[in-house]
Structures are given as structure tokens and as C-alpha cells.
Chains A and B, each alone.
Chain A
Amino acid sequence: MTFKQMFTSSVGKKLVMAFTGIFLILFLVVHAGLNACIWAMDGGLMFNKAGHFMGSFVVPRILEIGLFVGIFLHIIQGYMLTLENRSKRSVGYAVNYSKGSKWYSRSMAILGTLLLMFLVMHIYHFWTPSRLGGMGNIKALDTFVLNGVEYHNLYGEMQLIFENPFVVILYVLACGSLAYHLAHGFQSAFKTIGVHNKRYHTLISCIGYGFAIIIPLTFAMMPISFYFKWVN
């Protein structure tokens, strides 16, 4: 058996989704944790220092490449699986069976597409000014010097972007999509990699639902905090 055969079987394709999904879940923890520095109430100094560390230290830069590969694989494989699965039933039912499963477990592709649309906007807002010196309406980040080190003012960029209520609403809605995507995805990923013991399954389901609430809520509070000027 080759690795190609392993990862292109119906179970193997799901393994790719599960492994990349778990990697993205871990990324969310790091992202939410670092961004929580905005609530340090120090005018964004701690947050900007954290951002500087992530942008200048070699380990996160390597992980960033892994992150882009992981996201890319998750998206491409997700769409391919969705299209493939749909093609397995050419004639549909007149009455659909909706009681046996949760709506969000059947809507992972739609929720994922909303997240992809958000991701494009999010990268445009924060990644391009930091890495590419801006694009379109987004200008390069302001900088400031502290103890001889030049820092990007990413905090100032957040203040600027989240002045727009429309953007804040889009970000909060995206967090809703993320919550439902995680509510199914978290526990489904662990089932796919083979966690079948009832005891672990119950534990993972509980952690999964908790994660699906806490992480998106943390993210949603960021634009809200800036818009209502709860952080200075």
C-alpha cells in the first residue's frame, strides 16, 4: 500500500481533513491567546511586542508556512470531498431526512465557504499591511521605535479597521460561522482519527462544544472592544 493509496481512499481523505483541522484548531488557540494581549490596557504595547515576536522569530515564521499549507489542504480537500459526496446521489429525495443530524453538521461546506470569504478579508486587513506593505485601500503599518527596535503598530491598525461598524458586524458574523464549524468539526476530527472509546468521546465532545463557544467569543469580542472603545 502506498501513501497515495492511503490518503486518497474515502477514509484517507477524511484523515487529511481531520489532521489539518486539528492543526488549525491549535492555530486558533495561539491566535486567540496572542490577540488577547489587546486587553492588557497598555495602549497596545504588549500586543505589538507579541506581534513583533511572531513576525521576527524563525519558529513562528516556519509554522506560518505550515499554516498556509494546512489551510490550503483543508480548503481544497473540503471542496473536493463535498463535490464528490454530492455526486453519489444523482436523484435526490422528495422529502429530506433532517431530524437525524444537526444542521451545522450537514452545512460544513457552507460554513467553511463563509469562513474562506472572511479569511480573504481578514488577510487583506491585517496580513498584507504587515507583510506586503499594504494593498488597495490598506496602507503599510505605522512603526514606532522602542529601545532601538522598530515595531509595527498592528494595534493601531486594529483601531483603524474596527472603526467601521460594517466591518465589525462582518467579523462577528464570521465568528458565528466559526463557532458552528467548530461545534461539528472538533469532535468529528477526533472520530475520524479513530477515538472511539465512549469515555474519551464524551470528554472530547464536551471540550469541543466549550472550544466552539470560547474561541469564537474571544475573537468576536476583539472588534467589539475596539468599536466601543473598551480598550484604549
Chain B
Amino acid sequence: MSHTTMNLKVKVWRQRNATAAGGFVTYDVAGISDEMSFLEMLDVLNERLITEGGEPIAFDHDCREGICGMCSLYINGKPHGPWQANTTCQLHMRAFKDGETIVIEPWRANSFPIVKDLTVDRSAFDRIIQAGGYISVNTGNAVDGNSLPIEKAKADDAFAAAMCIGCGACVAACKNSSAMLFLSAKVSHLSLLPQGAPERKTRVLSMVAQMDKEGFGSCTNTGACEATCPKEISIANIARLNKEYLGASLTAE
């Protein structure tokens, strides 16, 4: 396979801390292999910045295997870059052309405040999960998962929803900064399973209340979240969440 190197211009959002004013800085990055991952390209740039005595660009990353949900980055106007069903860490430089200018921005949403440069605080998602995104097993031993029969189609739908890695790309892509795709995935994967049934109603009400408290916007079903989701979470989950909410709020005391 042929191997090429490229020279790029990288336009990055730099911001010293949460309160400082930020702005774009353009860097020339030379000799980038098309086999590198996008984050490796940023590593190369950061090493150079450190060698030159500058401040490296802060960005989130962890597993670099596309499963942890830590990486973010809004690349050339799309969360996680140009590829479909892909995380930034799994984006490779062959997606770009020699001489191209790549614009990198952080997730933009008031509920995801910038910590530094491209790193944002996504703890709002943790607090939404803490509000009800779990099942309570308060006594006895953990039940054997296989002791409860679950029909295949439901198990598949629940698993597809549970694929959500909580990266926040849905919020970043949404014109309303809505967290509904994330929330609907978390509510759906439990409400589809018998284990999630006992707390089904309280779960959806508390999680929606927490989402509103965190300051996310309302969903207008544009579909931008689904189109950009690295795990291809279906927007049908949002409709399911709406049904869960309507049922729970109508029948709650």
C-alpha cells in the first residue's frame, strides 16, 4: 500500500482557562503520515510546541480505541470529524488532503463549559446518570443475568442503546445543545429490559429533570445528533423517551 506524507494547516481553538477569552491559532504541521490517527497528528504538533517552549494543546483522550467516550473535537464543522460512525481517536489522517486547513473547535454548549483549549467539562452527563440511569439492587446477591428470559429483539434494541459512550457529540451537533439522544439511549436501554422495569417511571422523570437543571436545550427532531453519533444511536430512542415521559408524567402522583 502506498504511504504518503502531508503538510497541513491546523486552526485550533486556544483558551487558557474557563474564564479567559479564547481565539483561533493556526499552526503549520509538516510531514504527517496518512496512516497516523488524528490524535497522533495532534501529539506530533504538541511535541513540537513543547520543544519550542510553548504550551501544548489540551484535548481529551483515553482509550484511543473508540470505546471510552473521552475524545471529542469538532473537526471541520462536524463532531468527531468527517467519517461516519466514528470517534476522533479512530479518525485517520487519510481522511484529509495534503495542504488542507483543518479547523478544530471544542464542543460548544453552555452545559459543557471549556476547561482549557479543546477540553470541556462533561460532568453534566455524570449527574444525569446519577439522577436515575441505573437499577437498584439493594439486597441479596446479584441476580444471574441469564435467569431472566428476554426476547431477542428487545435485547438487541437495549444493547444498541447501551452502545452510547456518553461522548457528547449529540449535544455538540444539535442546534439546541440538546442532550436528548444521550438521555434517550440511557433511558431506553434500561426501560427495554425487565431489570429496569421497577424504576421505569421515576427514572425518566428524574433524569429529564436533571437534564433540564443542567441547562441543555429541547429536542426539535432535526436528526443532527443521530447523523453524527459515533455509535449510531437511533433517534427512535428519543421518541421512546418521549413516550416514557408522557406515560410517567401523566400517571405520577
User: A and B from one assembly?
Assistant: yes
Which A residues are closer than 8 A to B by beta carbons? 1, 5-6, 9-15, 81, 84-102, 105-106, 108, 184, 187-188, 190-196, 198, 201
CA of A194 to CA of B236, assembled, Å: 9
B contact residues, total (Cβ < 8 Å): 54
CA of A14 to CA of B220, assembled, Å: 8
Residues of A within 8 A of B91 (CB): none
- Mark the stretch among B48-56, B59-67, B142-150, B244-252 that contacts chain A: B244-252
Q: Shortest Cβ distance from B30 into chain A, in angstroms?
A: 23
Contacts A9-B209, A198-B236 given; indicate if A188 touches B76 (C-beta within 8 A). no
Interface residues of B in 185-232 (CB under 8 A from A): 205, 208-209, 211-212, 215-228
Nearest 10 pairs of A and B residues by beta carbon: A194-B243, A100-B227, A95-B77, A196-B239, A85-B176, A101-B222, A100-B224, A88-B177, A85-B217, A1-B252
For B218, give its contact among A6, A85, A194 (CB under 8 Å).
A85
Which of A1, A6, A11, A98 gathers the greatest number of chain B CB atoms within 10 Å? A11
CB pair B224–A89 under 8 Å, yes or no, is no
Residues of B within 8 A of A99 (CB): 78, 227
For B243, give its contact among A5, A88, A94, A196 (CB under 8 Å).
A196
CB pair A89–B108 under 8 Å, yes or no, is yes
B127 contacts chain A at the CB level, 8 A cutoff: no
Q: Shortest Cβ distance from A157 into chain B, in angstroms?
A: 37
Residues of B within 8 A of A90 (CB): 110
CB pair A101–B224 under 8 Å, yes or no, is yes
CB pair B173–A95 under 8 Å, yes or no, is no
Residues of B within 8 A of A188 (CB): 220-221
Residues of A within 8 A of B78 (CB): 97, 99-100
CA of A194 to CA of B241, assembled, Å: 7
CB pair A193–B246 under 8 Å, yes or no, is yes
For B223, give its contact among A5, A85, A101 (CB under 8 Å).
A101
CA of A92 to CA of B141, assembled, Å: 50
Residues of A within 8 A of B252 (CB): 1
CA of A165 to CA of B239, assembled, Å: 44
Q: Shortest Cβ distance from B9 into chain A, in angstroms?
A: 14
CB pair A10–B208 under 8 Å, yes or no, is yes
CA of A77 to CA of B164, assembled, Å: 31
CA of A92 to CA of B178, assembled, Å: 15
Contact with A along B153-180 (1 / 0, CB 8 A): 0000000000000000000010111101
Closest residue of B by beta carbon distance from A91: B108
Q: Shortest Cβ distance from B13 into chain A, in angstroms?
A: 8
Q: Shortest Cβ distance from A80 into chain B, in angstroms?
A: 10
- Could you pull out 7 A-B pairs where Cβ atoms are within 8 angstroms? A84-B217, A88-B111, A88-B178, A88-B215, A89-B109, A100-B222, A101-B224
CA of A98 to CA of B78, assembled, Å: 9
